[in-house]
């Protein structure tokens, strides 16, 4: 990571610097070339005027054009040749071609076309412009060839390029050092987070991560801390669950052991006592079986692994069937059950699981009710949800226990729950089933007056986890 960040900073710095330096240099050089070219062209035009005005082509003796031509040759550090239209050299600032013929292809081209020929290509040290000499009567009388040097410009550019390169290297070194610093800083922050995470993964869940070097590492640390706290909470609840399970499973076994031991310890135990003790042992076995069954239901309904068998179910019929089964139980304590169905409801639910959830609520309403009490079960629906309400006239739940009754193994009154065959898992199972259906459960209770559970479940089941 350090290398990547460093390389990224370097590339991001070097490439633009080189491009900018190069393009500036090229622009500067082209500008110099153009200025030089324009200057020479203007001067050449002036000389053509002098040549024309002094009749230099016909008579070179005493013409002031001679001085002008030499002055321009000095200025451009080059050579100027003037030819007439027959290609005879009339003037040569190098003095070695006078009177001879000039048979350069470009000069012939210039004379033929009567147009300027530019054979300056900028990059070379020596360049040439050939211009036709046209007099005031618009007659072509010859041509002037100006060979000029760009050597001084090229030297200046080379000098500027060397200096710019040195400056660029300095800037790159500074940026490189800065890049290295940033890379080291970022990677050391990430390393700090990594070593904290390694420590946590070795089991130190309570270790606090705090790397606030950057906003991102600070946020990452906070997210990891939140994650660790929820893992810690899960771990605590797992341990508590395991210890509760062991305790609950051990209780009936301890009772059975005590009963069996006391039978073994006595000699010639009367038959009635045997029978009584065996009945108690059988009751404990039933209890153990119920706990195990409830535990299995709960585990099977673990939200992550559970599978729902969704079908279109008539909820009115489902509740009537449940009440038919539970009415005899209520009748034993003279508890009246009333069903209020406000409308026919058909919904997509898992029939077995929903039956279990609702019968837990109705069974509780019977178990935690007074003799001659009442239970009102109502079913209603709107366009999106159906609502089942189970209200009873029972013992109620103290305010401070309301939030806990859905926890596994939680019982307000252990003795009463045990007496009525409760395992403390019923409401946990109910809540899991309702959550699996993407529903909600609410509870309202007043001690000694009664309890009302309200369940809300969508009419259409959606597999979408966000639903
Ligand atoms: P249990 O098997 O003990 O009934 P539940 O999980 O079904 O376990 O209920 C947890 C506790 O909530 C019960 O022990 C009881 O104290 C309380 N409870 C549940 N339903 C009612 C109710 N309708 N009226 C009063 N208390 C209730």
**CATH code for position 97:** 3.30.450.20
What is the predicted pLDDT for the residue at 17? 86
CATH number at residue 424: 3.30.565.10
Q: How confident is the model at residue 97 (pLDDT cuts 50, 70, 90)?
A: confident
Q: For residue 446, what are the domain limits?
A: 310-458
85: closest CA among 61, 113, 44?
Answer: 113
Which residue, 270, 302, 334, sits at the end of a domain? 302
Whether residues 222 and 327 fall in one domain = no
pTM for the full predicted model: 0.60
Task: Please tell me the distance from the alpha carbon of residue 73 to that of residue 40, in angstroms, as a whole number.
Answer: 10
Which residue, 156, 176, 206, sits at the end of a domain? 156
pLDDT tens string 295-304: 888 888 775 5
CATH number at residue 296: 1.10.287.130
Q: Which of 251, 388, 427 to mutate to test the pocket of ligand 1 (most atoms within 8 A of CB)?
A: 427
Whether residues 354 and 437 fall in one domain = yes
Q: Which protein residues are within 6 Å of ligand 1, measured from CB?
A: 360, 364-365, 368, 392, 394-397, 405, 410-413, 417, 422-428, 451
Q: How far is the CA of 422 from the centre of ligand 1 (A)?
A: 8
Whether residues 151 and 237 fall in one domain = no
Q: Is residue 168 part of a domain?
A: no
Q: Is residue 221 part of a domain?
A: yes
pLDDT tens string 228-255: 888 888 888 888 888 888 988 998 999 9
Which residue, 241, 270, 302, sits at the end of a domain? 302
Q: Which of 244, 397, 429, 447 to mutate to test the pocket of ligand 1 (most atoms within 8 A of CB)?
A: 397
Q: Where are the alpha helices (DSSP H) in 104-212?
A: 105-113, 151-201
Q: How confident is the model at residue 465 (pLDDT cuts 50, 70, 90)?
A: low
Whether residues 235 and 149 fall in one domain = no
Q: How confident is the model at residue 382 (pLDDT cuts 50, 70, 90)?
A: very high
Whether residues 232 and 355 fall in one domain = no
Q: Is residue 361 part of a domain?
A: yes
* Ligand 1 atom showing the smallest separation from residue 369 Cα: 24
Tell me which residue has its CA closest to atom 21 in ligand 1: 364
* Ligand 1 atom showing the smallest separation from residue 294 Cα: 2
Q: Count the domains in the chain.
A: 3
Does the pLDDT value for residue 467 go beyond 70?
no
SS3 track for 32-74: HHHHHHHHHHHHHHHHHHHHHHHCCCCCCCCCCHHHHHHHHHH
What is the predicted pLDDT for the residue at 348? 97
Mean pLDDT of the chain: 89
Q: Is residue 437 part of a domain?
A: yes
Tell me which residue has its CA closest to atom 25 in ligand 1: 396
Question: What is the crossing angle of helices 315-331 and 351-367, to 10°?
Answer: 30
Whether residues 292 and 318 fall in one domain = no
Q: Is residue 146 part of a domain?
A: yes
Tell me which residue has its CA closest to atom 4 in ligand 1: 422
Does the pLDDT value for residue 282 go beyond 90?
yes
């Amino acid at each position: 990571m350090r290398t990547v960040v460093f390389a990224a900073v370097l590339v991001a710095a070097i490439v633009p610097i080189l491009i900018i330096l190069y393009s500036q240099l090229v622009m500067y050089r082209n500008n110099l070339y153009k200025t030089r070219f324009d200057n020479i062209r203007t001067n050449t035009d002036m000389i053509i005027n002098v040549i024309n005005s002094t009749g230099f082509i016909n008579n070179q003796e005493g013409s002031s054009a001679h001085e002008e031509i030499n002055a321009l040759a000095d200025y451009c550090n080059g050579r100027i040749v003037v030819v007439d239209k027959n290609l005879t050299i009339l003037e040569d600032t190098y003095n070695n071609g006078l009177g001879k013929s000039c048979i350069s292809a470009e000069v012939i081209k210039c004379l033929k076309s009567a147009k300027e020929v530019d054979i300056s290509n900028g990059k070379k040290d020596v360049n040439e412009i050939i211009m036709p000499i046209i007099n005031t009567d618009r007659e072509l009388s010859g041509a002037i060839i100006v060979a000029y040097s760009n050597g001084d410009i090229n030297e200046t550019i080379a000098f500027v390029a060397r200096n710019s390169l040195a400056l660029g290297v300095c800037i790159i070194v500074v940026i490189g050092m800065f890049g290295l610093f940033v890379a080291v800083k970022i990677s050391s922050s990430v390393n700090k987070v990594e070593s904290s995470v390694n420590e946590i993964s070795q089991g130190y869940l309570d270790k606090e991560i705090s790397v606030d070097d950057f906003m991102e590492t600070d946020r990452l640390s906070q997210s990891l801390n939140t994650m660790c706290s929820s893992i810690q909470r899960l771990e605590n609840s797992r341990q508590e669950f395991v210890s509760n399970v062991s305790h609950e499973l051990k209780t009936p076994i301890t009772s059975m052991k005590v009963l069996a031991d006391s039978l073994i310890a006595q000699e010639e135990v009367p038959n009635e006592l045997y029978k009584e003790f065996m009945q108690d042992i059988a009751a404990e076995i039933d209890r153990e079986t119920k706990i195990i069954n409830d535990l299995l239901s709960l585990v099977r309904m673990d939200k992550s692994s559970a599978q729902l068998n969704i079908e279109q179910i008539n909820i009115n019929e489902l509740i009537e069937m449940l009440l038919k089964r539970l009415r005899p139980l209520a009748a034993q304590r003279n508890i009246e059950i009333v069903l209020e169905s406000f409308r026919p409801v058909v919904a997509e639910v898992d029939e077995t699981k929903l039956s279990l959830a609702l019968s837990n609520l109705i069974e509780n309403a019977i178990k935690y009710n007074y003799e001659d009490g009442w239970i009102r079960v109502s079913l209603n629906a709107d366009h999106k949800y159906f609502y089942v309400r189970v209200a009873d006239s029972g013992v109620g739940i103290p305010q401070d226990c309301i939030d806990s009754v859905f926890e596994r193994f939680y019982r307000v009154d252990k003795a009463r729950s045990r007496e009525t065959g409760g395992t403390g898992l019923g409401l946990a199972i109910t809540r899991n089933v309702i959550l699996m259906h993407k529903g909600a459960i609410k509870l309202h209770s007043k001690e000694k007056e009664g309890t009302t559970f309200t369940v809300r479940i969508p009419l259409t089941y959606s597999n979408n986890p966000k639903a």
